[in-house]
Structure 1
Amino acid sequence: MIGSVQGGGSGPTVGVNHGTVAGTILAGNATGLADVVLDPSLIPLELGLTVDDEPVGGFTGRGWLVEKIDVRIAQVAARPVGGYVLVEAEAGLGKSALATYLAFSPTRRWPAHFSRQSTSPEAARANLAAQITYVHTPADSPDRSGGLPGNYTDPAWFAQRLMTIQAQRRARGEVSPLVILIDGLDEAPTPSAGEVAFGLPRTLPPGVVVVATTRPGHPLPLGARVERIDVTGQANLDDLREHVTFRARSDRALTGQLAATQVTPEAFTRGLLAAAGGVWIYALLVMDQVRDGDLRADRLDALPAGLAGYYSQNLRRIRELNPDRWDGVVLPLLGTLAAVTEPVTSTTLALWSGNLPLGPVQDVLDGPLRPFLAHTREDREAADPTGWYRLRHQSLRDFLTGRETGHEDHTVVQQSARCAHATRQAHARILACITPAPDQADLRRWDDASSYALAHLTYHAAAAGELDRLGLDPGFLLWTPLPSLLRTRNTVTDLQARRAIAARELMGSINALARDEQLRWLHVWAVKYRSTALAAACAARFPPDAPHADGAIWRGAPHTQLHGHTRWVSAVGTWTRPDGTTLLVTAGDDEVVRLWDPHTLH
């Protein structure tokens, strides 16, 4: 691979020869850095950390953990290669608040990606690459003004970009670590065995440290330094006590409710800590309910144990208070909130929940569901000044998608299962709303679909069980991003649709092809892979006199890209185990030798 040249249909073409950048050529429309950056400025507001003009002025505690993280960063940065520092904790222990504090701390300001912004590996890497470039390259650097190459979604490109920027920093005499922050490593699509979530490099350049938060039970990068938050640990309990005490004395609305029920801040803190059991999101939700008058401060002893029980109890209460709206408004709305993957307006929620009247939807959002939602308002001149809504915490999405199957209380399990059914229905409604309508020729104009559809339609189709149908639509296959299609194809059961998706995979990148060429090559690969339904659908779109393939002499199996090396692969071979099985062996310029099982490709 030494001396080869990589380039897409537009953007920079980079020649590599022993790691030396040969040149940058711009051709056509390139994706710019600003196009892929995800603005995190609203996250402190969503998490309730903003006080006056200070984004994280409401963050308290965790000083002991921040010190440990800084020590771990220094240790990893001193090693011959970079590495990962992970903060591991169960759901609801304040991992996102900690990550937000680190991202907005004036002394850090690390490039950061939050999974609540996007769980797409391609979007995450592009977001980080753009931020790293802005932060760690001089203002007059061509890297800041140039566009991204056509292959910028490739994990290997991100690894190379990271290596190049760090080498430039070292050449300028910068010895401080290059730190990257990721919140919610566990929320990324499950990586292949041995790989890192979000397609991050397994091996990082010297001086590069990734600080990430994650739940337990998920694959960890090899050699990662892990700091764990114990829900019942004294440090966690002390931090939570400090935060509750701070809120009980400084939040005027909360102190007013305490005074109205003759509960002292000290008694409120003791009662809430006993109910929360060290789970921060539980305590935060209860404080907001008390603050808003939805829960009396002298009734904390009636709260159930655990987040699942708490959510179940509140949904039962909402149903009892809104019996006429539960089935027609509240439940469809909950399902839609669980299904959407980014903040949406109340107008959109009303439409996607079944074209409901906006008034009742707004009443529910700003009424009984208010404590469980993150709400950011727009200015009065905006098209929808009511703002944007999303679920406040991933633990509620877990409940609404039916993941509480092992709970000891069967009523909690039943409630979660009913909500999961509503969520599946919501996926189907959303899919119908964001799918372009067919034209007079019964063809869908996929290029007219919204940006939300481009990013998430394949996910909704898979969740709704509709990917089998869409997988036979040539326009859909050529329009939807290939990585998202491959991540969801395990939901496809129809043989013809599976072959159609495999044919699209074999095409690889199509950015450099004109639309008619894309369709022609999809037709050829459909014939090669015996996807007769897709081949016929492609041929039906050809002009009457256009040639088409009736057959192909090809007995190969689909190829795939093996991601793992962070630099060029310089040698490929095989090795036979003592048991007679054969492994593929690759060696790269990253000084790593990898063994691959040819059957699983892991």
Structure 2
Amino acid sequence: WEKTEDNQKKTNLNPFQSNTQRIINDRVKDFVGREFVFEAIDHFFSTESNGYFTIEADPGVGKSAILAKYVQQNNCLVHFNQKLEGVNRTSQFLENICTQLIERYNLSYKSLPADATRDGNFLGHLLNEVSTRLGEEEKVVIAVDALDEVDLASQDAGANILYLPPYLPDGVYFLLTRRRVTLPFVVHTPQHLFNLMEYFDESLQDVEEYIRRATRRKKLLLWIKERELTTEEFTEQLLAKSENNFMYLRYVLPQIEKGLYHDLSLESLPTGLQGYYENHWVRMGMTAKPLPRTKLKIVYVLGETHQPVSLRLISEYANEEQLTVQDVIDEWEQFLHEQPIDKQTCYSIYHASFQDFLHRKDIVQAASVDIEDINRMIADHLWEGLFGDE
């Protein structure tokens, strides 16, 4: 590995870091509670000499928010896997974390070696090097979000996910999040699996507090009063509707305030995150007869691009006018993340659970959509852009 004596010559060339603060700010917006999770993390980190702490839970219940809040409070190293933005390859994780380790601990490498992202060897070497520099009470905590979104085809078959080391040196800890899925991960170092779904009562209290804080907002109070409800009744009933899902509330509460549910009673609101998606799908006319094929095509193109795309590119992929695409984007804005890239506004699906909904067999069949055709259409346009009509 190439080292340099003069670390001042190094510049921050980490392409992932510019996006990290935006992600953290977004995830911790209106954050409440979760002290029981932080206490469990701190207990593990203070009683073990090294190890992996994994938070496991269903989509939308707050895994990423917990990790982001912990990073914000403790200034950890962090990598966010984001399948829908094209950041889910093992090489991207290794490049990001190795660069952060070198910069944070002033290690004498002027650049990453060519083979740094080929496997986990260089990461392991850096962790050992950092471990020897730690003071008695010092720790290195590396937070990694959404292991379930990692593209396993981007690494060797049978290897640990992201080439995470089976052994860790003293003072080195990983904080991980994932859905309840089986992943290749075998380690011979302390580990703790924290199943967030088993903490129903504690999560219920946090969700209740989240709703109570929202009821202080004027537009929401007006909606409640128009239906002759008390804030207690509203909180209690919406709590049941939410099924302890923060993503559900993140969608539903702003839509109530915008007037999208002005014609509904509290009892008529959808139940659960998938129920919310189903309800919104119908309200947006996606099941109308005849089927709105142009709308459906544009929404599915957004769901399948797996990276932020501009209005112009969506228009090209879907073979539709940009004004038509803009109309659909305006209708579905609450499901989309906007970010400026090269002086253009680019769009991607905000949460992976919405792509799960789009892939549901009953939704695909009812929409008469062929997802393979959508992906083929995108690939054909990419090919034309690279090679023309060869």
| TM category, shorter | 0.7 to 0.9
Q: State which of 205, 217, 225 in structure 2 corresponds to 1:238.
A: 205
SS at match of 2:33: coil
Judged with a 3 Å threshold, the aligned counterparts in structure 2 of structure 1 residues 69 and 221 are, in CA distance, closer, same or farther, namely farther
Residues 189-200 of structure 1 mapped to structure 2, 5 A cutoff: 189-190=151-152, 195-200=159-164
The aligned counterpart of 1:98 is 66
The amino acid across from 2:338 in the alignment is: H
For 1:322 and 1:265, the matched residues in 2 are separated by: 36
For 1:338 and 1:200, the matched residues in 2 are separated by: 29
Judged with a 3 Å threshold, the aligned counterparts in structure 2 of structure 1 residues 248 and 348 are, in CA distance, closer, same or farther, namely farther
1:383 and 2:343 matched: yes
Q: Give the drift of 1:312.
A: 2.2
Q: Give the drift of 1:35.
A: 4.1
Q: Give the drift of 1:430.
A: 2.0
| Higher relative helix content | 2
The aligned counterpart of 1:340 is 305
1:120 and 2:89 matched: yes
CA RMSD of the aligned region, Å? 3.0
1:208 and 2:169 matched: no
For 2:136 and 2:199, the matched residues in 1 are separated by: 41
For 2:209 and 2:176, the matched residues in 1 are separated by: 24
For 2:54 and 2:368, the matched residues in 1 are separated by: 31
Q: Give the drift of 1:164.
A: 1.9
For 1:221 and 1:239, the matched residues in 2 are separated by: 33
Q: Write the deviation string for residues 138-184 of structure 1: whole angstroms up to 9, x where unpaired.
A: xxx533xx1111112122222222222222x23xx364110000110
Residues 40-119 of structure 1 mapped to structure 2, 5 A cutoff: 40-44=20-24, 46-47=26-27, 49-50=28-29, 58-76=30-48, 78=49, 82-105=50-73, 108-116=74-82, 118-119=87-88
Q: Write the deviation string for residues 304-357 of structure 1: whole angstroms up to 9, x where unpaired.
A: 4443333223212212698788211x2112212211223333333233222x22
Q: Which has the higher contact order (CA 8 A, sep 6+)?
A: 2
Q: List runs of 5+ in structure 1 lacking aligned partners.
A: 1-12, 15-22, 26-30, 51-57, 403-412, 443-602
Q: How many matched pairs? A: 376
Q: State which of 365, 368, 374 in structure 1 corresponds to 2:337.
A: 374
TM-score by length of 1: 0.57
For 2:309 and 2:218, the matched residues in 1 are separated by: 30
Residues 130-529 of structure 1 mapped to structure 2, 5 A cutoff: 130-137=99-106, 142-143=108-109, 146-155=110-119, 156-167=121-132, 169-170=133-134, 173=135, 175-190=137-152, 195-219=159-183, 220-222=185-187, 223-230=190-197, 233-249=200-216, 251-296=217-262, 299-319=265-285, 326-328=292-294, 330-354=295-319, 356-367=320-331, 369-376=332-339, 378=340, 383-384=343-344, 387-402=345-360, 413-417=361-365, 421-435=369-383, 436-438=385-387, 442=390
Q: Give the drift of 1:276.
A: 1.5
Judged with a 3 Å threshold, the aligned counterparts in structure 2 of structure 1 residues 94 and 297 are, in CA distance, closer, same or farther, namely farther
Larger radius of gyration: 1
Q: Write the deviation string for residues 204-244 of structure 1: whole angstroms up to 9, x where unpaired.
A: 22111000111113235435211121267100111110111
The aligned counterpart of 1:534 is none
For 2:254 and 2:370, the matched residues in 1 are separated by: 26
Judged with a 3 Å threshold, the aligned counterparts in structure 2 of structure 1 residues 41 and 439 are, in CA distance, closer, same or farther, namely same
Asked if 2 retains the 8 angstrom alpha-carbon contact of 1:374 and 1:391, the reply is yes
TM-score by length of 2: 0.85
Asked if 1 retains the 8 angstrom alpha-carbon contact of 2:145 and 2:178, the reply is yes
Q: List runs of 5+ in structure 2 lacking aligned partners.
A: none
Judged with a 3 Å threshold, the aligned counterparts in structure 2 of structure 1 residues 32 and 120 are, in CA distance, closer, same or farther, namely farther
Judged with a 3 Å threshold, the aligned counterparts in structure 2 of structure 1 residues 252 and 187 are, in CA distance, closer, same or farther, namely same
Judged with a 3 Å threshold, the aligned counterparts in structure 2 of structure 1 residues 42 and 301 are, in CA distance, closer, same or farther, namely same
Q: Give the drift of 1:45.
A: 5.0
SS at match of 2:40: helix
